[in-house]
A and B are shown apart, each in its own frame.
Chain A
Amino acid sequence: GDSVTQMEGPVTLSEEAFLTINCTYTATGYPSLFWYVQYPGEGLQLLLKATKADDKGSNKGFEATYRKETTSFHLEKGSVQVSDSAVYFCALESPGSGYALNFGKGTSLLVTP
């Protein structure tokens, strides 16, 4: 079945450091890929998405490129801020999944001043 694997956290970075959170997937067909972010005490918010191979999703300085050849969708940001501290979830939705999102386990990010 479909699955998403993302790097284990927690990840601790200093402010202005470069961020990479790895995400790989297994899916039948051609899934859409998402990154969601969850701030403490909140629900999930969509950070960015990509719906086909080689698409690059971007938002708030975060980027991720849909790589079909490596089945990956790694999240990157050039310079993190303290306010980026949150849990990040990689997710996929397959055409046959019935609108169900399949999430990775989440990666906790802590950015220190």
Chain B
Amino acid sequence: KAGVTQTPRYLIKTRGQQVTLSCSPISGHRSVSWYQQTPGQGLQFLFEYFSETQRNKGNFPGRFSGRQFSNSRSEMNVSTLELGDSALYLCASSYALLWQEAFFGQGTRLTVV
């Protein structure tokens, strides 16, 4: 079956702009999580959605937001981009049962200039 699909794969934006990233989970998966990966901070949890509801949020400013649609597809938005937002953004989907495997997409590489 198809894996987790993230689009676009690469993105270059200017400081102050906003950006929207998309994630299509594996069919049947209802939980979608987002992570930010940077060389300095490593992998950090952004938020998790299940059935269109945000159930958990990491320690990120309000400029980072997300949503999930009825078909489980998810988007995350970053407004007023800063240079420090440059990172690989990874989406993961799962059946949302405890301790089940999370399947990751290849990520979107965001560069803010």
Residue of chain B at shortest CB distance from A93? B99
Flag if B104 contacts A99 (CB, 8 Å).
no
- The answer, yes or no, to whether B72 is at the interface (CB within 8 Å) is no
- The answer, yes or no, to whether A100 is at the interface (CB within 8 Å) is yes
Flag if A44 contacts B101 (CB, 8 Å).
no
* Contact partners of A41 in chain B: CB under 8 A: 106
* Contact partners of A95 in chain B: CB under 8 A: 98
Q: A43-B107, A44-B90 are in contact. Are A98 and B101 (CB under 8 A)?
A: no
Flag if B99 contacts A100 (CB, 8 Å).
no
Could you say which of B12-20, B40-48, B61-69, B79-87 contacts chain A?
B40-48
- The answer, yes or no, to whether B31 is at the interface (CB within 8 Å) is yes
C-beta contact mask, B29-45 vs A, less than 8 Å → 1, else 0? 00101010000001111
Q: A44-B90, A93-B99 are in contact. Are A105 and B42 (CB under 8 A)?
A: yes
Interface bin, chain A: 20 to 34
When the two chains form the complex, which single residue of B55, B102, B103 contacts A98, counting CB atoms closer than 8 Å? B55
Main secondary structure of the interface of B (DSSP, over half): strand
- The answer, yes or no, to whether B4 is at the interface (CB within 8 Å) is yes
Q: A32-B99, A93-B99 are in contact. Are A99 and B31 (CB under 8 A)?
A: yes
- The answer, yes or no, to whether A25 is at the interface (CB within 8 Å) is no
Could you say which of A10-18, A45-53, A78-86 contacts chain B?
A45-53
Q: Which residues of B contact A (CB under 8 A)?
A: 4, 31, 33, 35, 42-45, 48, 50, 55-56, 58, 90, 92, 94, 96, 98-99, 101-107
Other than the given A44-B104, A95-B98, A98-B48, 9 more pairs (CB < 8 A) read A43-B105, A44-B90, A49-B101, A93-B99, A99-B50, A101-B43, A102-B45, A104-B42, A106-B43
Q: Which residues of A contact B (CB under 8 A)?
A: 32, 36, 41-46, 49, 51, 89, 93, 95, 97-106
